[in-house]
Chain A
């Protein structure tokens, strides 16, 4: 019953969020601010994780392919496909669910318990729209950029591991990276990213907006936001993969 209640409340909130904004220029300004807060300030963590993820994928692939009939350039190919299709869009989105999701939820939750959300309502402002919509739009714009950066850095990380680790000749790695490249793989990854960005921003916004109580409840909302965002990312990863690749 509780689950149905949350589903219903989520869709009721979304109906409020996507109402026509009071003043478009204010919302536009907020979107820019949120792109900085949620996106640009996440570049560091995305970069670090991507480089090391690419390096580890390359090393593991090298040591797991010991068949003499398997061409060496398969390492580059496998690294590229793993990073583009799964690691960057899904793993980085899970990381962003933790970083960005908890930020969104705790920010809105704190505003709720300190009556700042009520203050917006009293002014005649659609608080759900003003607080959540810019975050949703900003995430859906900036997350694909982060994921493209992640893909490039992941492949670069693999190159570092191959060349400086001395486990694979550079030329073989590059041949593998360029082999049978399909642009649809990027499209697939970006579609997933945009859906995940929507889920992270709306689910975290939902838990933050419905916070009741004090500091303890803000923390609980934040935890729920991360947990449920992650679960829905995994669920939609399966659904989208089935739809887009099957």
Chain B
């Protein structure tokens, strides 16, 4: 479980996160939604330590991430997996080497064991016979799947996904969403997903937090989100013609 308490972050006097308090539960897909520029990515970067928060606490179970030393953070980071918006696969390594990379760094597994683990992870994301391909040779959806395979290679306790559906067609986006959701349940991970895709919310949102102008405006589950009277959230949800039509019909 990850708890965020009274988190603040600003850049050059511009407040990006204001008093954000939210809990992300274990074994659930926790979605953070909001418009572009609302502060979702900064929140995620604060959670993983890529950006230092100005004030507030980030608790990994009971450990306050902000007050940990570099080596203590390293221990937590070994239990983190992250899926970046563009995949962030290492260009100079092929698919197999990308997945093996964290194992090379932090385990004493033999070469055969590492290859076996890489093949297992690739199979888990429904990709086979791509081991020797380089990232430049993969489609957008394949890159995302390889990135998921790399993120789960080390059996992480926490999985972070920054806009996993960006740049994907709706069908592939649903495949990626379901894959993340299945893996979350299977490995009982705490998964946090940044998205502005309402399909993802309705498909896999066990818990949803809505961030607006750097503040937490609403939290609940995917069923409650359609019945909310929160004005800003409704503006966000029903921004598209399709959603407005669906609302009318229901």
Residues of A within 8 A of B (CB): 22-23, 26, 110-111, 114-116, 118-119, 121-125
- Kindly provide the distance from the CB of A214 to the nearest chain B CB, expressed in whole angstroms: 12
Given known contacts A114-B86, A115-B85, A119-B82, is B105 in contact with A125 (CB within 8 Å)?
Answer: yes
Measured between alpha carbons, how far is A87 from B81 in the docked complex, in Å? 50
Interface residues of B in 72-95 (CB under 8 A from A): 73-75, 77-78, 80-82, 84-86, 88-91
Measured between alpha carbons, how far is A123 from B78 in the docked complex, in Å? 6
Measured between alpha carbons, how far is A89 from B160 in the docked complex, in Å? 49
Given known contacts A119-B82, A122-B82, A124-B78, is B90 in contact with A26 (CB within 8 Å)?
Answer: no
Chain A residues contacting B160 (CB-CB under 8 Å) are: 122
Interface size of B in residues (CB-CB distance below 8 Å): 24
A123 touches B91 (CB 8 A): no
- Kindly provide the distance from the CB of B61 to the nearest chain A CB, expressed in whole angstroms: 17
Given known contacts A124-B77, A124-B78, is B105 in contact with A119 (CB within 8 Å)?
Answer: no
Query: Which of B50, B75, B82, B105 makes the CB contact (< 8 A) with A22?
Result: B105
Measured between alpha carbons, how far is A124 from B105 in the docked complex, in Å? 9
Q: Which residue of A lies closest to B45 (CB)?
A: A118
Residues of B within 8 A of A (CB): 48-50, 73-75, 77-78, 80-82, 84-86, 88-91, 101-102, 104-106, 160
Chain B residues contacting A111 (CB-CB under 8 Å) are: 90-91
A26 touches B82 (CB 8 A): no
B74 touches A115 (CB 8 A): no
Measured between alpha carbons, how far is A114 from B104 in the docked complex, in Å? 22
B50 touches A118 (CB 8 A): yes
Given known contacts A23-B105, A26-B105, A118-B50, is B77 in contact with A123 (CB within 8 Å)?
Answer: yes
Measured between alpha carbons, how far is A119 from B105 in the docked complex, in Å? 13
- Kindly provide the distance from the CB of A120 to the nearest chain B CB, expressed in whole angstroms: 8
Query: Which of A114, A115, A121, A123 makes the CB contact (< 8 A) with B105?
Result: A123
Given known contacts A124-B74, A124-B77, is B104 in contact with A118 (CB within 8 Å)?
Answer: no
Chain B residues contacting A119 (CB-CB under 8 Å) are: 82, 84, 88, 90
B88 touches A124 (CB 8 A): no
Chain A residues contacting B106 (CB-CB under 8 Å) are: 22-23, 123-124
Q: Which residue of A lies closest to B90 (CB)?
A: A116
Query: Which of B80, B86, B101, B102 makes the CB contact (< 8 A) with A115?
Result: B86
Measured between alpha carbons, how far is A139 from B82 in the docked complex, in Å? 33
A23 touches B82 (CB 8 A): no
- Kindly provide the distance from the CB of B51 to the nearest chain A CB, expressed in whole angstroms: 10
Measured between alpha carbons, how far is A23 from B77 in the docked complex, in Å? 16
Query: Which of B85, B88, B104 makes the CB contact (< 8 A) with A116?
Result: B88
Measured between alpha carbons, how far is A77 from B89 in the docked complex, in Å? 54
Query: Which of B73, B85, B104 makes the CB contact (< 8 A) with A23?
Result: B104
Q: Which residue of A lies closest to B76 (CB)?
A: A124
Chain A residues contacting B82 (CB-CB under 8 Å) are: 118-119, 122
